[in-house]
Amino acid sequence: MSREAYQIPTAQGNAGAGGAGAGAGGAGGGLAARGAFDVDVGQTMNYICGDCGFKFALRRSDTIRCKECGCRILYKERTKRMVQFEAR
């Protein structure tokens, strides 16, 4: 199987719809494959500015810059989900 023909498995039931769209667009096949990664295009990630400490949300297409001071050093906000590591 070639790299271009590979379809990324999804947890959603509409995986067949993505496969049909990828084959239809010849040159657009790369865009359809990239679209598989962009499942959460509208979803935002929360960041904290490294300079002023302002908390804000950014989407994938937004510029990496604080909306208050313009600083380009951003930290991802820590997840609220419990993370547990096993130590030896």
What's the pTM value of the predicted model, to 2 decimals?
0.47
Burial profile 61-79: b = 16 or more Cβ within 10 angstroms, e = fewer: eeeeebeeeeeeebeeeee
pLDDT for the residue 21: 47
Q: Which residue has the higher pLDDT, 83 or 72?
A: 72
Q: What is the pLDDT of residues 22-55, one digit of tens each?
A: 444 444 444 454 554 544 566 888 999 999 999 9
